[in-house]
Amino acid sequence: MVSDFFYPQPGGVESHIYQLSSKLIALGHSVIIITHAHGSRVGVRYLTHGLKVYYVPFYVLYRESTFPSVFSFFPILRNILIREEIEIVHGHQSLSSLCHEAILHSRTMGLRTVFTDHSLFGFADPGSILGNKLLKFTLSDIGHVICVSHTCKENTVLRASLDPVTVSVIPNAVVPSNFRPDPSKASSEYITIIVISRLYPNKGADLLTAVIPNICKIHPTVRFIIAGSGPREIDLEQMREKFQLQERVELLGSIRHEDVRDVMVKGHVYLHPTLTEAFGTVLVEAASCGLLVVTTKVGGIPEVLPSHMTIFSSPSEDSLTQSTLEAIKLIESKAVDTSKFHEQVKGMYGWHDVARRTENVYDIVAKIDNEPVIDRLKRYYGCGIWAGKLFVMCVVIDYLLLRFLEWLYPESGIDRVRKWPRRPIDKSLLAGANCKSEKIESEDEDSGLGGMSDVA
């Protein structure tokens, strides 16, 4: 697993990688995660069940993405891949340059590659055009691609000009036990509407600001709890003051993912005003907590939940107000039984299922034979008039770099790691391993890796 996005920073991709990796380990695979260093967190760390994380020191450019240096990642990546005897490299998220580099280099080394796309991109703005070109470069020679929803698949196939057969749809999942409903927490005299979203324009924060006063005016017994922060937070605060809704609209600011469930169970309805969404894990979490979901019908959202759990609206102020009022009416008249949602969601989404389906993808990839270098170059050449030549140049340099690295650090000189024993889940051993990796962290990168083999 390679991505710029991993713990300790919070987020959907981060938890996806973590959950998937731990389930794959449970299925008997050996999994390591490679990401960039976060502050003082440099070197190797162990998480639960011997999930090993390499924090590679790289300069962070923008929103936790590393600087796209194309080749500088190759030496250490090769070292890690050989040391860990890796067969399949799985990159996550198209904005992560670490992931793109890893896929390029591992293809050069002749390894199998898989890529997971978690988000949607348009085709019109300059940022997307550049991003799509890069994606086309990386995915020209990918083994298999995983998308989190059917809409996301259509989007990725178009962006990277892929054959749709090489793209699988495997949704995200939730840990149902972390999102158990608790009807005793919700108020009986008020209808509480929960919103958990980063307050950005593309997450529909403007719609939210417009809808709240409408609903509060029509319905005197409705309260809002809004969690999340962002540039539009100030608008919400202004709206709250303008309409004097301080008692009825509670702004929590950003909350940790662990606390999401505790906020959700306080409510009856979950409102999701977003303008773009590939999957919307938060909807599944809300339904799992026993909330009726009101959402805009955009992106992959219509695929996520069955119609008895959701009320869809178009992304307009009037439509969203109508849908929310409808949801309030359903809750008040008890026409919808939200108590069964948890069990139903449990049957729909589980990480074990995701891991099993990802395993199928790995099986497909493992059967693909490596083609001659010239065929690989041909694929890159077809990427575009100028881009094609540039890409071919990059790949050729990558091969030369590989030869140079093979001479500089011969494969025989790289120690192989002893694998974490299967099912040794002994609390004391785990604690000991954690201590050890803490120590390694203070040393420099190479010696940190050198000291690795005797940790397990």
| Footprint of other proteins (CB under 8 A) | 120-124, 144, 149-152, 154-155, 157-158, 164-171, 202, 204, 206-207, 210, 275-276, 278-279, 296, 298-300, 302-306, 314-319, 348-349, 357, 360-361, 364
Closer Cβ to other proteins, 164 or 231, answer by number: 164
Closest alpha carbon to 221 in 184, 247, 251, 240: 247
Q: How far is the CB of 323 from other proteins (least distance, A)?
A: 14
Closer Cβ to other proteins, 165 or 408, answer by number: 165
Give the number of other CB atoms < 10 A from CB of residue 52: 25
Closest alpha carbon to 146 in 171, 122, 169, 120: 169
Element containing residue 112 per DSSP (H, E): strand 112-117
Closer Cβ to other proteins, 275 or 387, answer by number: 275
Q: How far is CA 155 from the centre of its chain?
A: 17
Q: What length does the chain have?
A: 456
Question: How far, in Å, are 113, 141, 230, 321, 324 from residue 217 at the CA level?
Answer: 54, 56, 26, 11, 13
Q: How far is the CB of 167 from other proteins (least distance, A)?
A: 6
Q: Is 247 helix (H, G, I), strand (E, B) or coil?
A: coil
Closer Cβ to other proteins, 102 or 365, answer by number: 365
Element containing residue 373 per DSSP (H, E): helix 373-381
Closer Cβ to other proteins, 190 or 200, answer by number: 200
Q: How far is the CB of 70 from other proteins (least distance, A)?
A: 28
Closer Cβ to other proteins, 22 or 295, answer by number: 295
**In this structure, what token pair is assigned to residue 169?**
């749809």
Q: How far is the CB of 199 from other proteins (least distance, A)?
A: 14
Residue pair 254/147 in contact (Cβ under 8 Å)? The answer is no
Q: How far is the CB of 435 from other proteins (least distance, A)?
A: 41
Query: Considering Cα of 362, then 423, then 454, then 39, what sign does the dihedral take?
Result: positive
Closer Cβ to other proteins, 152 or 405, answer by number: 152
Residue pair 271/228 in contact (Cβ under 8 Å)? The answer is no
What phi and psi values does residue 141 have, to the nearest 5 degrees? -130, 35
Closer Cβ to other proteins, 275 or 396, answer by number: 275
Q: How far is CA 321 from the centre of its chain?
A: 30
